[in-house]
Amino acid sequence: MHFGEKVRELRLTKKLTQCDLGSTVGVEFSYISKIENGKLDFGDVPSEALIHRLADALDADENALLLLAKKVHPRIRQRVFERS
């Protein structure tokens, strides 16, 4: 599963609209749409700071979101995947 797909799944589970989530984390709903669809202009995932806010708003495991976003050093990521 890609980062954006996970964000969409979590958002829908909490019955939030893109507008609701965007307002909660301080971005426009269109930015949430771009995240969910992998259409960000500068990459596939947002900053770590926004990922932290998304995790809080979605009651999600922040580390899992960071892993999906590949915001973890590759050696650490590999060790986590080996242990799971």
- What is the model's pLDDT at position 16? 98
Question: How many Cβ atoms from other residues are within 10 Å of residue 56's Cβ?
Answer: 12
pLDDT tens for 42-66 read 766 799 999 999 999 999 999 899 8
Closest listed residue to residue 51, CA positions, set 74, 78, 32, 33: 32
Query: Looking at domain 3-83, which of 3.40.50.150, 1.10.260.40, 1.10.357.10, 1.10.1740.10 is its CATH number?
Result: 1.10.260.40
Q: What is the DSSP letter of 26?
A: T
The domain spans of the chain are 3-83
Which helix (H) or strand (E) element contains residue 36? helix 29-37
pLDDT of 80 > 80? The answer is: no
